[in-house]
Structure 1
Amino acid sequence: MTVLRSAVDAGSPDFQANREAMLDKLAELDAEHAKAVAGGGEKYVSRHRDRGKLLARERVELLLDPDSPFLELSPLTAWGTDYQVGGSLVTGIGVVEGVECLVNASDPTVKGGAINPWGMKKGFRAADIAAQNRLPTINLVESGGADLPTQKEIFIPGGRTFRDLTRASAAGVPTVAVVFGNSTAGGAYLPGMSDHVVMVKERAKVFLGGPPLVKMATGEESDDESLGGAEMHARVSGLADYLAVDERDAIRLGRRVVARLNWKKQGPAPQADYAEPEHDPEDLLGIVPSDLKVPFDPREVIARVVDGSDFDEFKPLYGSSLVTGWAQIHGYPVGILANARGVLFSEESQKATQFIQLANQTNTPLLFLHNTTGYMVGKEYEQGGIIKHGAMMINAVSNSTVPHISVLMGASYGAGHYGMCGRAYDPRFLFAWPSAKSAVMGPAQLAGVLSIVMRQGAQSRGQVYNEEHDAAMRAMVEGQIEAESLPMFLSGMVYDDGIIDPRDTRTVLGISLSAIHSGPIEGATGFGVFRM
């Protein structure tokens, strides 16, 4: 039998303590998500509604098929900065007329939907996801263009937005723009470079330069409607393909555009007769210890995520700090790599390399479940070739061409983050649990290394080392690294695609795998040089 058994005791004090700690983190997460949902605040939301306009998330909800899921991406963008949480943009994957699409919606309650540096970064990530997974893109536009006070950070890299649209079109992946209000200056190129454009009558305003700029540049007197109104673009310039009478009509027309795309997935279809996990996903709240130094068995997570809790483990007796094996999630085959005891040794690295090669031979997507402190250090391990073997694993991850998904459950430190397909290694999706932490190393270890280096420097100069200063330095560094390794900080930096409730992991992975299979699944035919 390959159905995983569970040793979780949901009534134990440790489990209950872990569960309460996770629920506290989820409550904090809900409070931060609420800031993104609130947009620009009550004043600007009321002003927007008084104008008879729908909010960004209401537009998204009307666009999507009834009762279909929406996987919001990067909702905490700009957390911890001076900008509004969410980055004035809502992005995510949803189903429109049966077609999975990448949806971007400007939030006009935040500075009129103007794009700031963090919203731009969020938009770039969304474009990457659309391109990598062959997803049609729908832009719900109401934006004043660039946030001008930050133009030095936006103008040069911001042109990538339009480059991505034209490249999608060239690749045969449709792009749709539904314009509800202003789409000015550089933002005018957003509908200008989309395959299909819908504009709302008497609301949409699309022009390179508004009346004040035209007056300054040319001396010409003009008004919004004759310069860039929806009806003008529908009747005169030809920029608008469809003229909507109001916002709801625009969304209806956008849905009809998607319905006529004749869109087909290129990846293999999932098995239709899969079973739900044998074990309760509610248990995922209490499996990860609040102290990440305490190991946990990732099989307990796998048993609550994969179809039927059915898992064929690969090399179970070799390199046991890394669990590898084959399973299905919502009918899609996956290969899973999950850290069991944190540290990666040479055996785990070699095991992972072979497993990744096998997945590429069979065109099987890979799921990385992170809880690692990195590769083992020390004289014995350096002499045993840990650098070569770690490099072998990272080589395999780097050159693997099957889709990767990463979930940070616990620690994800050092080069172990790289070997387990961290952000720099382009996983199709990367999510974090509220319990996750990621940094070059643990806060205490990093502070200790700095202390040793400073102590040795003082000794080499013949100086007396100041122990009080050392204690203060260590406390400051530990606090800084702890804060910078927390998931909300990293999510604000767009280093993940969102922090998820552990109980939603199976659903999130199912949506991600379905999106991935919009394109072909093809393994690598060759790798780089493996140092043996």
Structure 2
Amino acid sequence: MTVLASALDTGGSDYADARAAMLDKLTALDAEHAKSLAGGGEKYVARHRARGKLLARERIELLVDPDTPFLELSPLAAWGSDYAVGASLITGIGVVEGVECLITANDPTVRGGASNPWTLKKALRANEIAFANRLPVISLVESGGADLPSQKEIFIPGGALFRDLTRLSAAGIPTVAVVFGNSTAGGAYVPGMSDHAVMIRERSKVFLGGPPLVKMATGEESDDESLGGAEMHARTSGLADHYAVDEPDALRQARRIVARLNHRKAHPDPVTAAEPPRYDEDELLGIVPGDLKTPFDPREVIARIVDGSDFDEFKPLYGPSLVTGWATLHGYPVGVLANAQGVLFGPESQKAAQFIQLANQRDIPLVFLHNTTGYMVGKEYEQGGIIKHGAMMINAVSNSKVPHLSVLMGASYGAGHYGMCGRAYDPRFLFAWPSAKSAVMGPQQLAGVLSIVARASAVAKGQPYDEEADAGLRALVEAQIESESLPMFLSGRLYDDGVIDPRDTRTVLGLCLSAIHTAPVEGARGGFGVFRM
């Protein structure tokens, strides 16, 4: 075995400072996650319970197998917007009757489960994950439909939700809808377009238009039950495949549906138990410095997340600012690319491109651990071909067919974010640590560039330059870019799938790797386009 040696000084002041800074960030993160867990708040939670209904998270808990994890996705969606944190929707991956499923659940305590623009983005991302990884989809439905004041941002793109359900079914990926309350107007198509629909006596209401709309449109008098109740749909319309007497019964029936799917993973799970890392995962809290300008060795991270801390490094002496190598994680083979000193040079880019090609030849998923300020700039590096070398790395990432997993540990700036498989490059999953930052460049650098441009413009016009105004502008820009670079801001916009505790990294990646192997894992054989040599 090639066990990584650790040089981390857990008794030193640098470690203590980094750990304290990370714990402070985790405390702030917990406070934001608590907002999502609280749903619509005590008043609306109490009203929901008074109606004899389970909360959305309680429904998920009864649906998934006992004592199995639920990997929640995008819990901070809508953070920093006018809408509730979590966007009135819970999404994640859970195990139901031994089958990994993508689960979505409307939270009716938040504006009746109405969908806002961030709800839509979150739901579409969940469907994307289900499709890429061939995960059955279970929709736990109770929604008042579109949040009408924001309908202009929902109606037209929202049709993709129904398109996705039909495409999932066409691809042989099962879809199940369990209706707990309202599923009206466009929402009626969720059970209508799912392979299986479960409805609950005197609870489910599924119709294109409710009694008031029917009265206005046709003059017909009707009531909820005769128009769209569970019994009507079970006995008359045929929309309900299963008729449940209450919520626990509906969830029991959903579990039985999944048990009968005969849905099989493309790849078997690892047959032997994975050896845990040789080093304590708790030490991950003290590796990333509070100041991201200070470099750290990513091997210290790798040693605490891969099986047995066993890592075979590839080209260790070439392009040392990027660490590449092979390992297993919870028994699954992976290739790892991790930024070392932050900057990507030509050799690092060439090394990455070759490593990505090798992973594709071997059908091995890739894990990208981000801490990069981007590709190196300057006359020497431009003349040395940094553009074509960076383009080579980005080309390889873009056309790689094996699944990619990205974790933003520290900085992820500029085109380095692209080369390390940022959101735009379709990683199967992307998570961030609370220490992460991502933007076109660092706040000080961006503010400085704007200052230089403004100063040059004043000189060209023969005008005096206002140094006081310049200092104020730089401070304002730095503050703005700093706030927009933080993980909670980016997670709120669904630029990642969640901000995670560093100590959970191995577990989260393991759950993702298991889900990924439900679909075939096959690399590209050629087809990388033209590499500029």
Q: TM-score, normalised by structure 1?
A: 0.99
The Cα shift of 1:267 comes to 2.5
Q: Tell me if structure 2 keeps the 8 A contact 1:90–1:106.
A: yes
Q: Tell me if structure 2 keeps the 8 A contact 1:271–1:332.
A: no
**Matched residues in 1 for 2:37 and 2:234: separation?**
33
- Report whether the alignment pairs 1:224 with 2:224: yes
Matches within 5 A, 1:229-248: 229-248=229-248
- The aligned residue for residue 336 of structure 1 is 336
1:465-502 Cα distance to aligned partner (Å, 9 max, x none)? 11111000000000000000000000000000000000
Question: Kindly tell me: are residues 43 and 273 of structure 1, through their superposed partners in 2, closer, same or farther at Cα, counting changes over 3 Å?
Answer: closer
The Cα shift of 1:273 comes to 3.6
The Cα shift of 1:264 comes to 0.4
- The aligned residue for residue 304 of structure 1 is 304
- The aligned residue for residue 382 of structure 2 is 382
1:89-121 Cα distance to aligned partner (Å, 9 max, x none)? 000000000000000000000111011100110
**Matched residues in 2 for 1:406 and 1:268: separation?**
23
**Matched residues in 2 for 1:360 and 1:479: separation?**
42
The Cα shift of 1:271 comes to 4.5
Q: Which amino acid aligns with 2:367?
A: L
**Matched residues in 1 for 2:332 and 2:19: separation?**
30
- The aligned residue for residue 19 of structure 1 is 19
The root-mean-square deviation of aligned C-alpha atoms, in Å, is 0.6
> Secondary structure at the residue paired with 1:9?
coil
> Secondary structure at the residue paired with 2:373?
strand
- The aligned residue for residue 185 of structure 1 is 185
- The aligned residue for residue 438 of structure 1 is 438
1:280-338 Cα distance to aligned partner (Å, 9 max, x none)? 00000001100000000000000000000000000000000000000000000000000
Q: Tell me if structure 2 keeps the 8 A contact 1:374–1:417.
A: yes
| Structure 2 gap ranges (5+) | none
> Secondary structure at the residue paired with 1:24?
helix
**Matched residues in 2 for 1:124 and 1:93: separation?**
15
- The aligned residue for residue 134 of structure 1 is 134
1:387-412 Cα distance to aligned partner (Å, 9 max, x none)? 00000000000000000000000000
In the TM superposition, structure 1's runs of 4+ consecutive aligned residues that sit over 3 Å from their partners are none
**Matched residues in 2 for 1:247 and 1:273: separation?**
37
The Cα shift of 1:458 comes to 0.8
**Matched residues in 2 for 1:453 and 1:489: separation?**
28
Question: Kindly tell me: are residues 271 and 364 of structure 1, through their superposed partners in 2, closer, same or farther at Cα, counting changes over 3 Å?
Answer: farther
Q: Tell me if structure 1 keeps the 8 A contact 2:339–2:370.
A: yes
- The aligned residue for residue 253 of structure 1 is 253
Identity value in percent: 79
Q: Tell me if structure 2 keeps the 8 A contact 1:145–1:183.
A: yes
1:244-277 Cα distance to aligned partner (Å, 9 max, x none)? 0000000000000000001100135324242110
Q: Which amino acid aligns with 1:465?
A: Y
Q: Tell me if structure 2 keeps the 8 A contact 1:201–1:230.
A: yes
- The aligned residue for residue 532 of structure 2 is 531
- The aligned residue for residue 486 of structure 1 is 486
> Secondary structure at the residue paired with 1:207?
coil
Q: Which amino acid aligns with 2:390?
A: G
**Matched residues in 2 for 1:521 and 1:243: separation?**
38
**Matched residues in 1 for 2:383 and 2:273: separation?**
50
The Cα shift of 1:346 comes to 0.1
**Matched residues in 2 for 1:215 and 1:36: separation?**
38
Residue range with higher mean Cα deviation, 419-428 or 5-14? 5-14
Residue range with higher mean Cα deviation, 427-436 or 521-530? 521-530
The Cα shift of 1:358 comes to 0.1
Matches within 5 A, 1:504-523: 504-523=504-523
| Structure 1 gap ranges (5+) | none
Matches within 5 A, 1:415-494: 415-494=415-494
- The aligned residue for residue 497 of structure 2 is 497
Q: Which amino acid aligns with 1:81?
A: S
The Cα shift of 1:10 comes to 1.1
Q: Tell me if structure 2 keeps the 8 A contact 1:226–1:232.
A: yes
Matches within 5 A, 1:364-379: 364-379=364-379
**Matched residues in 1 for 2:131 and 2:454: separation?**
47
**Matched residues in 1 for 2:428 and 2:70: separation?**
17
> Secondary structure at the residue paired with 1:412?
strand
Q: Which amino acid aligns with 2:87?
A: G
Residue range with higher mean Cα deviation, 454-463 or 345-354? 454-463
> Secondary structure at the residue paired with 2:231?
helix
Q: Tell me if structure 1 keeps the 8 A contact 2:273–2:330.
A: no
Residue range with higher mean Cα deviation, 391-400 or 5-14? 5-14
Matches within 5 A, 1:13-52: 13-52=13-52
